[in-house]
Structure 1
């Protein structure tokens, strides 16, 4: 059964002949300290692995995850309404990316790529702070609720 459909070598999967080939949307702008944009670097990576340029769409304006999703979602909508996509990001970044995608209404699945152990601690702390920042309004409310008993205990002494 594995050979029933032609092999799409770019993704190592077989699809029925009437299925559109996979399109890769690579997303990310160029930081001040970067030689090329993240989108260009990913496009180069894909081309070096046999993906033809006509299957790669670049989004190189974004400077954060929210913009990555927004701009890439707009590109996908123009290409074909009702699209379905898989976002590949760093393993530590999956949770926040999923939250942002849901809030933006971008229909994607999010999977994590391996991350070097050298980055685990700093990346995890950064993501933890970023997720807290995303939900700062409930966090502020909780802080106020906790402040009342603490203040009462302090002033009773």
Structure 2
């Protein structure tokens, strides 16, 4: 009898977490739309050697699409060098964008950040230096809700442009679970 009630408790808890945390993350990734802005901020992600990982490539492709559609005249690429990376994420991102037709002069680099909060805070500093007042934040669909929540905390005027998720069920599930935990942590830990 105890086992059955314990299972019911866990199932209820799981469904509650799903409803309160994961559904808004999934919804934001499907419904968030960008508005024209002064710049596009592309949040960094893992590199493979000197090249963007699948998730980062999808973000960069979305940034190119927005740039070519005249949503913004510039792009800020944001991401430092991880311990297992040969170059900074921002350097690899800029190289990708230039190879895909974005003029080098339209791409600004922020390469000190180590997490999403720093991506946005340090990109906001680049915006201030260049007199840019609002942005479109580009990240994958699973990440856009948290990115916009952090932008709001920083009082960074921004809309979001969710890039697609990888065509890989394991990776996509892992990313949504990770974002759920990260959103919950925002309730208890001040970002820095």
Q: TM-score, normalised by structure 2?
A: 0.59
- Who is 2:118 aligned against? 67
| Match status 1:135 vs 2:187 | yes
- Who is 2:107 aligned against? 56
- Who is 2:157 aligned against? 107
- 4+ residue runs of structure 1 moved beyond 3 angstroms? none
SS in structure 1 of the partner of residue 109 of structure 2: strand
Q: CA RMSD in A?
A: 2.1
SS in structure 1 of the partner of residue 159 of structure 2: strand
For 1:107 and 1:80, locate their aligned partners in 2 and report how far apart those are by CA, in whole Å: 13
Q: How many residues align?
A: 123
Unaligned 5+ residue runs, structure 1?
1-8, 16-20, 138-157
Unaligned 5+ residue runs, structure 2?
1-64
Write out per-residue CA displacement over residues 72-117 of structure 1, whole angstroms, 9 at most, x where no aligned residue. 0011011015x22101111100010011000011111111111114
SS in structure 2 of the partner of residue 92 of structure 1: coil
Write out per-residue CA displacement over residues 56-79 of structure 1, whole angstroms, 9 at most, x where no aligned residue. 100000000000000000110110
Greater RCO (CA < 8 Å, at least 6 residues apart):
2
Q: TM-score, normalised by structure 1?
A: 0.72
SS in structure 1 of the partner of residue 67 of structure 2: coil
| Match status 1:123 vs 2:175 | yes
- Who is 2:77 aligned against? 26
Determine if contact 1:10/1:51 at 8 Å carries over to the other structure: no
How big is the shift at 1:121? Answer: 1.0
